[in-house]
Amino acid sequence: MLFNSPEFLFLFLPAACLLFYCARRLSPATQLVTIIGLSLFFYGYWRIEYLPVLIFSLTSNCVIAHMINRSRTEATRKAWFILGVTVALSFLGFYKYTHFIMENLSLVFGFDYTGTPGEIPIGISFYTFTAIAFLSDIHTRRITEYTVTEYGATITYFPHLVAGPILFHHDTMPQLRDPDGIRLDWNKIMLFLFFFSLGLLKKTGLADNVAKIADPIFAQVANGGIPDPGQAWRAALGYSFQLYYDFSGYSDMAIGLGCLFGIRVPVNFYSPYKSRNITEFWQRWHVSLGYFLRTYLYIPLGGNRKGRTRTLINLFIVFFLCGIWHGAGWTFVAWGAMHGAAMIVHRLFASTVSLPKNRATTMAATLFTFLFVVFAWVLFRADSFHTASVIMQSMVGLSADRLHNLPNNNVEIYLGLLMLVTWLMPNTIQIMQRFSPAILHGRAVEWPFVHCIPTSLKEGTLFGYATGAFTAAALVTGAIFMFVNGQVRYLYFDF
């Protein structure tokens, strides 16, 4: 079930909200059981055959967490923890990487392999990492007490279940422990409408439409075509903004749903294309994944505590694995390696060169970071190294050919407007930050033009009227595009 679908918006969501808040009249525990049941229904509605995979993951990790807690020695606790991580990653690896591994083994050892990649259980990467984070917090005693319903509600919570953000039990469980249960109020409804409406508009009105610019070019190149530089940049920028608004839209809708049900989720998207360097980019893009990799991989590897060389190696390992997490393909591995290398270069550069802190330097650094990210997205999007190579070569002017039968009506103007919106407008968290709509794992950044906005428009009655009107316009426009474009999957469903 997609967030951008009529059955979710007009059937499931009202029914889920009614059942969840009616359950509070029975007990807070009943509310948690209700959210688990609703989430399992939401997941099973998509593909019922993958529901047992989620339930097995949920059950096995709960049992192993219980065994970790019961263990009396650190060696036994560690053994159970390793077993839990192994089981979780084995399921993820089986469904996501079996075809990729077999295909490459057949090339190395020369045996025939005729298998085809199967469909990956939706959301398996996200709920697997949520489970691993839980096991790690139990192992390190960051979490010492929990109930099965608290654990289950966090893992299955449907706003995050199929495309993130990754949830962390040490953030979520305190929200579930109100002795009076979770109550509905007008602030929650207001925040839900704002975030969900803006997210719906980003997805259906921006991401799904800009895809019509990028997809035909990538498709023609995959079939042997060669674009000219302008077409190559259209493809690269088009996909960059498609992915940006697709992911940002889903993240906003997840935040809105978290507000509606009173269980806030982490901020997963914080204007990443405004980043001044690649390190800052990964503090703003897929924030929950960055937090997971830093907390549960980079720091256990030694972080920056074992000297410069080890720090750089750790950084590369983290982003190499980040590439593999995103997809079973060598293009994803290469994309992760590109970002790992960029992190190393930035770390070395920042430690040896001190740039002047002024507006011109900031703008140049932001543009350079953006161009690197766009260039790398070509590798991320392409179906093969050949497709990526052809587009990248054309982007740097090494092509004299041209594709035909492409949409050309005002493409550059549309991409230019998207770029201005992305760079100049505040993000949704910055607009609503005083209401604490989500959990921010990182530093809040003030919108640079905030001082240009009259105080009356930033707070009070006028702020309410302005955001209300904007929310209504976004909801109506997003819903219209939802019916016009149909139900288009989120890109991160495939990761």
Give the tens place of pLDDT for each residue, 14-69.
999 999 999 988 988 999 999 999 999 999 987 888 899 999 999 999 999 999 99
- Report the distance separating Cα 226 and Cα 387, nearest Å: 9
- Report the distance separating Cα 339 and Cα 453, nearest Å: 36
DSSP letter string, 15-26:
HHHHHHHHHTTT
Query: Is position 326 annotated as part of the catalytic site?
Result: yes
Strand partners, 266: 439
SS3 state of residue 448: coil
Describe the crossing of helices 51-70 and 124-139 by its angle, rounded to 10 degrees.
10
Domain borders along the chain are 6-183, 187-494
Q: What pLDDT score does 293 carry? A: 92
The pTM (predicted TM-score) of the whole model is: 0.93
Per-residue pLDDT reduced to its tens digit, 268-287: 999 999 999 999 999 999 99
Structure-block tokens of residue 197:
């409406």
- DSSP E strand stretches across 38-145: none
Q: What pLDDT score does 68 carry? A: 93
- Report the distance separating Cα 197 and Cα 193, nearest Å: 6
Task: Work out the burial of residue 478: count CB atoms within 10 Å of its CB; fewer than 13 is exposed, 13-18 middle, 19 or more buried.
Answer: buried
Predicted confidence pLDDT, tens digits, the chain (495 residues) = 788 888 998 999 999 999 999 998 898 899 999 999 999 999 998 788 889 999 999 999 999 999 999 888 999 999 999 999 999 999 888 888 888 888 888 888 877 777 777 778 888 888 999 999 999 999 999 988 899 999 999 999 999 988 879 999 999 999 998 888 889 888 999 999 999 999 999 999 999 889 888 999 999 999 988 998 988 999 999 999 999 999 999 999 999 999 999 999 999 999 999 999 999 999 999 999 999 999 999 998 888 888 888 889 999 999 999 998 888 889 999 999 999 999 999 999 888 887 778 888 989 999 999 999 999 999 999 989 999 999 999 999 887 788 888 877 778 888 888 999 999 999 999 888 888 899 998 778 887 777 777 776 767 778 878 888 989 999 999 999 888 887 777 777 776
The single residue of 139, 160, 169, 326 carrying the catalytic annotation is: 326
- Report the distance separating Cα 293 and Cα 314, nearest Å: 11
Q: What pLDDT score does 122 carry? A: 85
The candidate with the shortest Cα–Cα distance to 259, out of 314, 154, 187, is 187
